[in-house]
Structure 1
Amino acid sequence: MTKRKFSLRPASAAILLGSAALGGIVGGAALASDDAAIAGEIAAPGPAAVMQSGVHANLADMVEAVGPSVVQIQVKPEARSRTAAGPMTRDEALRRFFGQPSPHGDRARPGGSLGSGFIVDPSGLVVTNNHVVANADVVTVQLSDGRELEGRVLGRDDKTDVAVVQITQGSGFQAVDWGDSDGTRVGDSVFAVGSPFGLGNTVTSGIVSARGREIGGAYDDFLQVDAAINSGNSGGPLFDASGRVIGVNTAIFTPSGGNVGIGFAIPAHLAREIATEIVQNGSVSRGRIGVSMTDLDEDIARRLGLSSEVGALIAEVEARGPAARSGLKPGDVILRFAGEKLEDGRDLARSVGEAKAGTSVPVEVYRDGRLLALELVIGSDRVAWS
């Protein structure tokens, strides 16, 4: 089924809110419309463990079961890393230029932030958003019973906005179960737990409104939900009707800075994969082929002799890179990757990123009016966290 894309007009802006001051608006990303200057919040769901025996009478039973697995994450100003200056990441730029000041005046702590997360292993592994932990090495994790424990950031991935924190004190924590985000359907009931505006253990509910939403990132594949998500929900879990985590709440679309019923969550299958790799390797490895792409519109497609604007148009090929060694050239249009039809360059980026480095993948390429079959060598693009 063709994915429905969420397109932003040129004047629109994506806003990350995960680094708002403590006590103020925190966590999340918002999308602004052309009609108003907007600030929004991001919230992400985490995994929750629910007893699978018996039948839950209502949502209250489910919330009671998963509540102890949802945590609040505080990043204090002094905990932020002092790393060498370099290019700003997408998250950093959004935080710097679109972050909101705290409405609580002198009680705010400049440079601090607050968000949500969820425990995925009894040892104290916590999944959250990358923008929640920002550039911190150490964070404070507050459990549902009020205890505050130290947490160490194991690693993060800014491309998918996923991070993992290890609680360094205590053991035997209650973990949640991952659910099947691939099997989630539009209309399925969901509920979110987190700390909007710092109000811990807040529960909201709704349905899955759409799937496969793209809001500007190369690896976007968001679930859209209408459960209320606000600042501070970032990194918190989105649960299905069985109390399993199917997503991590990450962004909202808003004309006012508050929730209007359009939220976005990272699918559990992606968040789990990234979190597992961070825990195992301390970094994220993606496939790469060394190309840049451009949009294939109707006019370009006609000039190339294509009947439709479907496929990934290669604009440049890195000299001696994987794509060049595989025979790809500028002007080629990749129509299929590993037998799967590509809608656009974003599809190619995701497919290459998920491919294993060192392998060869069959691709179908349109060039000068002919279809060619090539074996595309996948290179490595290991993203180390520092």
Structure 2
Amino acid sequence: MTTAIAIPFKTDSKRSQIRAMFVALIGAVALMLQATTVDARGAPDSFADLAEQVSPAVVNITTTTIVEASTDTTPMVPPGSPFEDFFKDFMDRGGQGGNNSAPRRSNALGSGFVISEDGYIVTNNHVIEGADEIEIEFFEGFVLPATLVGTDPKTDIAVLKVESDKPLKFVSFGDSDLARMGDWVMAMGNPLGQGFSISAGIVSQRGRALQGAYDDYIQTDAAINRGNSGGPLFNMDGEVIGVNTAILSPNGGSIGIGFSMASNVVSRVTNQLTEFGETRRGWLGVKIQTVSDDVAEAMGLETASGALVTDVPEGPSKDAGLEAGDVILSFDNKDVEDANSLVRTVGETEVGKAVRVVVFRDGKTKTLMVTLGRREEAENVAFPVAGKESVEPEDTTLFGLTVMPLNDELREQLGVARGTGGLAVIDVDEASEAFAKGLRSGDVIVEAGQEKIATADDLKLRAEDAREAGRKTVLLMVRRAGEPRFVALGVSEE
């Protein structure tokens, strides 16, 4: 939008005209900047009102675990040491030897917060894991025993329940997706067992992953220490946008790098634990890997995005017609960025829902309908483990790989199903691209260029086909201990 500013000036004064024009220009620029500047929240004058508002819903958690006494009373000194008798007498006088040993009680501390007036409480799974007794201390000073409703180790979330004669004060989850880098946040909990305490900082980053498939952490510089685990991370509206879970620290104390599991993950898990006592995640039934640049080039994809299907065991996807080598571009009308994002999206989708899956296959897209299963029911599938016996190598080397066709003896040693074709990797040149990309002795190459192979000549032919098609790489499907993955190797070296 263009803003016109009329400034009256005298025509008989050239200097006045120039001055007026300059003033008009400055004014116009100021208005334009005002129109385009993004509103930003200023720093709060104080966190006191917010702390007073939410404190009654934040709790300290004390767990008690009964630890069985060790029956091993051997002193921690070398046999025959002159100190052996001394330590034995010392242990006996202290009542720690012989039959005087008894179970002891071990206590641990953590934090949590109330999410309903009838007493449901959220904390970290690692706070209460293995506990025999759980006590909840409220901000007002009273203490109640808690029972465990359910846990989810994958997101490190647990739900507890207390019984109270009166409605409890609680806090609500906010939308963690609305949190922006630089937004003010406040953490509350029981750091180092010091009791109720608050710390404040900003959102340092979002979407952090530590090690879990469902990780979606908010990184913050608000001080988080031992004992803060399970406590809430609040936005300035008093909504919980994260559960304080972990810190990055060389010394065990806060250095301003803390991680809170995002509320949009926690709220879904909490709802399932509260309703069912367990999680119920969607299951697509495929093994996948992220599409790298060289894999995308080998497959003819325009961009390195999506999730590459490496295997389709019995399950929902196989029933729907998905195949190994498909690249999942879209799931339930949501674009798939990589393998991790697909795992999270599928896990958040309702079990039994029929979803639209768009895949890239043979140079074009194809849409399939998949009815999701339940992940928890499919997690205990066993896969064969490869044997370790050595095999006399055949003198065929490609891509720095010494290979030989599978036979019955090799199939048995490598845990490969009867009738499976392909090439067994006998040796890998450590200076080769194949070694750098993770191929090792004992791997089995079952496909090249998305076609099955049985001999070294087949592999050579697929490499030649890739070169003739103007591609720099050929895509191999490799199995190790039954687990498949795709690896793209350069074809220029052969």
Scaled to the shorter chain, the TM-score interval is 0.7 to 0.9
Pick which of 267-276 and 124-133 moved more. Answer: 267-276
Structure number with bigger Rg = 2
Partner of 1:316: 311
Indicate conservation of the 8 Å contact 2:221/2:256, yes or no.
yes
Partner of 2:173: 178
Aligned-residue offset at 1:63? 0.9
Indicate conservation of the 8 Å contact 2:64/2:132, yes or no.
no
Aligned-residue offset at 1:129? 0.9
Deviation string, structure 1 residues 133-192 (Cα, Å, up to 9, x no partner): 113364111112333221001111111211111013543221123223222221111101
Instruction: Give the TM-score normalised by the residue count of structure 2.
Output: 0.58
Partner of 1:220: 215
Partner of 2:274: 279
Q: Give the Cα separation in 2 of the matches to 1:79 and 1:274.
A: 30
Q: Check 1:121–1:57 CA distance in 2 against 1; reply closer, same or farther (3 A cut).
A: farther
Partner of 1:336: 330
Q: Give the Cα separation in 2 of the matches to 1:303 and 1:358.
A: 35
Indicate conservation of the 8 Å contact 1:283/1:382, yes or no.
no
Indicate conservation of the 8 Å contact 1:182/1:269, yes or no.
yes
Letter in 1 for 2:48: A
Secondary structure of the structure 2 residue equivalent to 1:114? strand
Q: Which protein, 1 or 2, shows the higher relative CO under an 8 Å CA cutoff with sep ≥ 6?
A: 1
Aligned-residue offset at 1:79? 9.6
Letter in 1 for 2:337: E
Indicate conservation of the 8 Å contact 1:292/1:314, yes or no.
yes
Partner of 2:364: 370
Residue 72 (structure 1) aligned with residue 60 (structure 2) = yes
Secondary structure of the structure 2 residue equivalent to 1:61? helix
Indicate conservation of the 8 Å contact 1:249/1:264, yes or no.
yes
Aligned-residue offset at 1:110? 6.8
Aligned-residue offset at 1:113? 2.2
Secondary structure of the structure 1 residue equivalent to 2:66? helix
Partner of 1:114: 109
Aligned-residue offset at 1:378? 0.9
Partner of 1:15: none
User: Of 265, 274, 285, which aligns to 1:270?
Assistant: 265
Partner of 2:464: none
Indicate conservation of the 8 Å contact 2:186/2:234, yes or no.
yes
Aligned-residue offset at 1:306? 2.0
Runs of 4+ in 1 over 6 A off after TM superposition: none
Partner of 2:449: none
Structural mapping, 1:37-56, within 5 Å: none
Aligned-residue offset at 1:297? 1.9
State, as a whole percentage, how many aligned pairs show the same letter.
42
Structural mapping, 1:45-194, within 5 Å: 58-78=46-66, 111-136=106-131, 138-194=133-189
Deviation string, structure 1 residues 247-292 (Cα, Å, up to 9, x no partner): 1111122233221111111122221221122111211111102222
Partner of 2:193: 198
Secondary structure of the structure 2 residue equivalent to 1:376? strand
User: Of 229, 240, 248, which aligns to 1:245?
Assistant: 240
Q: Give the Cα separation in 1 of the matches to 2:46 and 2:164.
A: 34
Aligned-residue offset at 1:381? 2.9
Aligned-residue offset at 1:212? 1.3
Partner of 1:325: 319
Instruction: Give the TM-score normalised by the residue count of structure 1.
Output: 0.73
Secondary structure of the structure 2 residue equivalent to 1:256? coil
Number of aligned residue pairs? 300
Deviation string, structure 1 residues 77-136 (Cα, Å, up to 9, x no partner): 1399xxxxxxxxxxxxxxxxxxxxxxxxxxxx7754221000111222111111111133
Q: Give the Cα separation in 1 of the matches to 2:164 and 2:236.
A: 32
Indicate conservation of the 8 Å contact 1:79/1:137, yes or no.
no
Aligned-residue offset at 1:57? 6.9
Indicate conservation of the 8 Å contact 1:247/1:268, yes or no.
yes
Q: Check 1:298–1:224 CA distance in 2 against 1; reply closer, same or farther (3 A cut).
A: same
Secondary structure of the structure 2 residue equivalent to 1:278? helix
Q: Give the Cα separation in 2 of the matches to 1:187 and 1:307.
A: 35
Partner of 2:14: none
Compute the RMSD of aligned alpha carbons: 2.2
Aligned-residue offset at 1:215? 1.6
Partner of 2:375: 381
Secondary structure of the structure 2 residue equivalent to 1:336? strand
Aligned-residue offset at 1:350? 1.1
Letter in 2 for 1:175: F
Indicate conservation of the 8 Å contact 2:67/2:106, yes or no.
no
Letter in 1 for 2:304: E
Bigger proportion of residues as helix: 2
Letter in 1 for 2:242: G
Letter in 2 for 1:357: V
Q: Give the Cα separation in 1 of the matches to 2:257 and 2:54.
A: 24
Q: Give the Cα separation in 1 of the matches to 2:165 and 2:134.
A: 15
